[in-house]
Structure formats: C-alpha cells, structure tokens
C-alpha cells in the first residue's frame, strides 16, 4: 500500500485516446497520485499493440517489470498495490460487507462498456449482413445496444442518489462515467433520463482525473473532429 514519493517512475500505461477501458486506469492512476508514464498509441488499431499484449487491446501497464493487460485485472492490481483513501476514490474495489453486490455492479459496468464498444466499432467499420444469418436473424450491433440499455436500466435501480456507495466515490462510479462520457464524446446513446446515473456521470466529469483524460475529437465519429 505504501509508496514513497521519491521513488523513480516505474509504472507505464499504454492507451489509445478515448478508450473507456484505458480511461478507467488512467484516471485511477491520477486519483491515487501514482507517478507514471502514459504512452499514447496512435490510431486504430493501436499501433504496436501486438508487441505489448497477446490480446491486442489497451490498457496495458508495466510496473516494476510486471506487465498486465485487461482493465479489471489492472484496476485490481492498482487498488491492491497503491490504493489509498487519501484522495477521492475508495481504496477498495468493493466494500467487504457488500462484496458480491459491488462486484456484480462492476461486472455489469464492464459488460455495458464492452457492449457499447462492440456496437460502435461494428457500425463505424460499416459491418453489414453479407450471408445467411444463422443466429436467429439477430442484428449483432442492435443486440449490443439493447444489452447496453438493459444494463443502464438495471444500474439505475442499483445506484443510490449519492452514487453506487453512499458517502464515497466508488470505482464503479468511475467506470460508469468513463463509458458514458466516451459515448458523449463520440456518439450519443439514450442513457439520459436516469437521474442517479446522470448525477454520477456529472460528478466524475468535473474531477481533475477525468478532465485530464477527456477524449479528443475524432473525425471518424458522428461528433466529428480521436479514436476508439
């Protein structure tokens, strides 16, 4: 848990601009005051990613020679290694007394984020049905968005007026805001009208860690002018 401020920077995070999964990690590093080097990989697909991770996805971190990929694993590592309640965000990923509930909500937000990424990427890549649909005629992009909306409704029921954890900034709040603010920067989705989620997203949007990691404009999105 302890980290001497005088230690040299050993932690590197690789990301692409906009990536909501990478933003959770970048914002967590800032919230915990962890010295790090943030390396942006250009374009989509992320340039040089195959040399960093077999999954070919950001975020990737390296800390003291340990390379990790997968945002939930990285977040777990950061909370366990550097978590501190001194800043705004909770040091713990889940509350001991509500562990399974909190873990479930984190998983729901991760699924929501993946659904949104898959929907946007499929449409931005211009994917169209080319052959017989042997998956019950389902339009995969539409199903991803329907799944996202179902999860948003469920998350609104789970959230309190003060975020997912009363009196504390939960890691879940950050993850939700990273996903929603990515859509706000790229292409709006029907997430508004859920007052508890709206409050969570507004609160995170105002934080320094989110201001410093905001997506840059990307010409390929309907919002115009960065990438996935």
Ligand X SMILES: N[C@@H](CCC(=O)N[C@@H](CS)C(=O)NCC(=O)O)C(=O)O
Q: Which is nearer to ligand X, 50 or 202 (CB)?
A: 50
Residue in 12, 19, 58, 16 with CA at minimum distance from that of residue 36: 12
The conformation of residue 110, written as its DSSP 8-state character, comes to H
* Nearer to ligand X (CB atom), residue 70 or residue 88: 70
Residue 183 interacts with ligand X (CB under 6 A): yes or no: no
Select from 67-75, 97-105, 156-164, 171-179 the region that touches ligand X (CB under 6 A): 67-75
Is residue 70 a contact point for ligand X (CB under 6 A)?
Answer: yes
Long-range contacts, stretch 222-228, CB < 8 angstroms, 24+ apart: 222/186, 222/187, 223/185, 223/186, 223/187, 223/188, 226/17, 226/18, 226/185, 227/16, 227/17, 227/18, 227/43, 227/44, 228/16, 228/18, 228/19, 228/44, 228/117, 228/120, 228/121
- Decide: is 71 part of the binding site for ligand X (CB under 6 A): yes
- Cα end-to-end distance, the chain, whole Å: 33
- Residue 1 C-beta: closest distance to ligand X, Å: 24
Binding to ligand X (CB under 6 A) within 7-46 occurs at: 19-21, 45-46
Binding test (CB under 6 A) with ligand X, winner from 29, 68, 117, 178: 117
**Identity of the residue, 19 or 94, whose beta carbon is nearer to ligand X in the bound complex:** 19
Residues that bind ligand X (rule: CB under 6 A) add up to a total of 14
Please tell me whether residue 90 binds ligand X under the rule CB under 6 A: no
- Read off the DSSP letter of residue 220: T
DSSP designation for 66: E
The distance of closest approach from Cβ of residue 114 to ligand X in the complex, given in angstroms and rounded to an integer, is 6
Please report whether residue 197 would count as binding ligand X according to CB under 6 A: no
Residue 176 in tokens: 């939700």
Contact footprint for ligand X (CB under 6 A): 19-21, 45-46, 56-59, 70-72, 117, 228
């Amino acid at each position: 848990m302890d980290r001497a401020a005088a230690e040299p920077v050993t932690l590197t995070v690789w990301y692409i601009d906009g990536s909501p999964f990478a933003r959770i990690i970048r914002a967590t590093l800032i919230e915990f005051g962890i010295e790090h080097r943030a390396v942006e990989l250009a374009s989509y697909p992320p340039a040089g990613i195959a040399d960093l991770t077999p999954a070919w996805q950001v975020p990737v971190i390296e800390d003291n020679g340990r390379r990790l990929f997968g945002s939930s694993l990285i977040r777990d590592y950061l909370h366990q290694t550097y978590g501190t309640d001194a800043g705004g965000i909770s040091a713990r990923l889940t509350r001991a007394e509500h562990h399974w509930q909190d873990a479930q909500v984190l998983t729901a937000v991760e699924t929501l984020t993946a659904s949104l990424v898959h929907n946007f990427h499929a449409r931005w890549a211009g994917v169209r049905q080319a052959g017989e649909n042997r998956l019950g005629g389902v339009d995969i992009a539409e199903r991803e968005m329907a799944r996202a909306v179902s999860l948003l409704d469920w998350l609104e029921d789970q959230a309190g007026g003060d975020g997912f954890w009363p009196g504390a900034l939960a890691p879940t709040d950050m993850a939700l805001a990273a996903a929603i603010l990515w859509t706000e920067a790229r292409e709006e989705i029907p997430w508004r009208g859920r007052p508890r989620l709206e409050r969570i997203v507004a609160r995170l949007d105002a934080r320094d860690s989110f201001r410093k990691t905001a997506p840059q404009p990307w010409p390929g999105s309907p919002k115009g002018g960065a990438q996935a």
